Chain A
Amino acid sequence: MQRKQRLSRNTAYFIPYMLWIVLFVIAPVLLLIYQSFFDINGQLTLANYQTYFSSNTYLMMTLNSVWYAFLITLATLIISYPTAYVLNETKHPQLWLLLIIMPTWINLLLKAYAFIGIFSQAGIANQFLSFIGIGPKQLLFTNFSFIFVAAYIQIPFMVLPIYNSISELNPSYVNASRDLGATNWQTFSKVIFPLTLPGVKAGIQAVFIPSLSLFMLTRLIGGNKVITLGTAIEEHFLTTMNWGMGSTIGVVLIIAMVIIMLLTGGGKRRTRKGLTK
């Protein structure tokens, strides 16, 4: 009797969350899928998908999105892994972690505008380039600045999971590896990196998937030279008002995300076991 009561109370605690999920996750996704089967005149059709998969423009856009998301993720990973590693060796890692997380509290749009200032013709970046004698250069509206700013924004989401997996790593593993004759590099490549791979995977998920659908940065920093799927969705919903086509791209993106999650989430059975000893 008592147990049953407690059970129903526990279920009750879930109701707000379930409502949230149903209203703001499941319903919109269903609406998106539903919408993707209508053309611009409100006719039920498969034409949107046909267009998407037969048009070179959309396929190029898809490739572009994946390619830039890949570059952003790679840049973020290359910066974040060593950062997380060094962070773990410092005396006050929580303080440094806070400093890394702090920029995420600032609105994305504000950060984008700040970078427009920094990268502009008279901005601080060009002042520095002039000072060392190789500037000023066109920085804003280049692919480089797009990737740079996107990586800057994504770094905290990569550092955090990697830092967690490194800090949970039992230091005895490192000693054992050295003890058995491994150099620092061998210890890193054969023990530390494989054992922190779950953190790396979580970081890739957290960075790659949002990077696929970036649209504001492509416009503000990339100057719309890089057209990604995110930009296309925005165009279809706000400019051409072709909601059906926009929804179709949305569905394709969701499928892509599911594929990424399956690829990075599954992992090998072994790598997930006993890491937190």
Chain B
Amino acid sequence: MAVNTQPIVRLNHVYKSYGDHQILKDINLELEAGKFYTLLGPSGCGKTTILRTVAGFTAVTSGDVEFDGAVINDLPANQRQVNTVFQDYALFPHMNVAENVAFGLKLHKVPRNEIDQRVQEALAMVQLADFGDREISEISGGQQQRVAIARALVMRPKVLLLDEPLSALDAKLRKDMQYELRDLQQRLGITFLFVTHDQEEALAMSDEIFVMNAGKILQGGTPVDIYDEPINHFVANFIGESNIIPGKMLKDYQVEFVGKTFECADGGMRPNEAVEVVLRPEDLDIVAADQGKLVVTVDSQLFRGNYFEIVAYDSDHNEWLVHSTNPADEGEPIGLTFDPQDIHVMRLNESEAAFDARLEQYEDD
């Protein structure tokens, strides 16, 4: 398969503000054709605004939105080759399921028999082949969700924008839809830009995730990259659960925290630089207190079904979250062990560009 280097969507130094309130601050991103991208962040971080600038519902204050190599800042929404699945679905209540799906095709003056055929195909694609005659008020939330997806996909957009489409569904249905959306995207080869505040959803579905906070993209990368090597405190905290401990980088591959020196896999920092150390709860193993690299005292624990979530404190009063298949004794000391590559060291206030450059430099060694 030939590699198409031309991005399908590009945001170039995009800013957006309402009055004094800056919603987007210098957003730069590139979407390649045929991939599943996710904008992930807490509510109010600007992720939906990015989606709206691509859809054409919101004009940027400065910067460029490019589509297929052309700047589309001034192109109205109805002329853009993107379609949106809205958070509240926005299905027209005065039309039935088939009429909703046919709406866009009729506007584009597609011949009658082709409309019927494409509507039927789209409904079959979302497993609602027999639902064409139903009224919107007669179908469930999950089915409305599928109709909304069919209505957008029937237009054969180059990019599909999805604005928290699963947030209104219950947990079981949401999980099923995650698989289905991922499957649809891979089958159709359309670029998906998916907005969510749910990190599990983002990790499960995406080829690439952009983590956002306060109008900025903090880090972009594959789910594995972002999980294993978060750039800063916010990302480490937002993606998965983490223990974030203050430490000091003594030299390359050697970090000090809780008064002890540990071997690690990071480097490229100044000697004795103050850093933060990330250890994921599932990477910590519990051993007898005298055999541990660290000794912590168990404070409390919760049974989570497939593991125990143990909260413990070290001698510096740092909180430690440990996932273990066995319960621990509350109030008793336990030992923790971990491998050097489980330690992830983060510099304070490092930019994404500097982070990437540093990573490349010592990973090539």
Tell me the A residues contacting B by CB distance below 8 Å: 170, 172-173, 175-183, 186, 190-191, 194-195, 270-271, 273-275, 277
Contacts and interface: CB of A to CB of B under 8 A. Distances in A.
Contacts of B91: 176
B137 A179 contact: no
A95 to B, nearest CB: 21
A181 B107 contact: yes
A179 B83 contact: yes
Given A175-B77, A175-B84, A179-B83, A170 B90 contact: yes
B21 interface: no
B137 A183 contact: no
State the main secondary structure of chain A at its contact with B. helix
B57 interface: yes
Given A179-B77, A270-B96, 20 more contacts: A175-B55, A175-B57, A176-B84, A176-B91, A178-B78, A179-B55, A179-B56, A179-B57, A179-B82, A179-B83, A179-B152, A181-B104, A181-B108, A182-B78, A186-B107, A190-B103, A191-B92, A194-B94, A273-B135, A277-B93
**The 3 nearest A-B residue pairs measured at CB:** A180-B104, A172-B90, A274-B93
11 contacts: A170-B88, A173-B90, A178-B56, A179-B82, A179-B84, A180-B78, A180-B103, A182-B78, A182-B107, A190-B103, A195-B93
Contacts of A175: 55, 57, 77, 84, 86, 90
A182 B103 CA distance: 9
B211 interface: no
Interface residues on chain B, size class: 20 to 34
B90 A270 contact: no
Interface string B64-107: 00000000000011110011101111111111100000011001
Contacts of B86: 172, 175-176
B202 interface: no
A177 B99 CA distance: 13
A156 to B, nearest CB: 27
A181 B107 CA distance: 7
B93 A180 contact: no
Interface of B: 55-57, 76-79, 82-84, 86-96, 103-104, 107-108, 135-137, 151-152, 155
Nearest to B163: A172
A190 B95 CA distance: 10
A178 B76 contact: yes
A69 to B, nearest CB: 28
A270 B88 contact: no
Given A181-B78, A183-B78, A273-B135, A176 B107 contact: no
Given A176-B84, A182-B107, A273-B135, A195 B78 contact: no
Contacts of A182: 78, 103, 107
Nearest to A178: B77
A276 to B, nearest CB: 10
B155 A181 contact: yes
Contacts of A195: 92-94
Contacts of A176: 84, 86, 90-92, 151
Given A175-B77, A270-B135, A180 B90 contact: no
Contacts of B151: 176, 180
Contacts of A178: 56-57, 76-78
A186 B109 CA distance: 13
Contacts of B55: 175, 179
B88 A172 contact: yes
Contacts of B108: 181
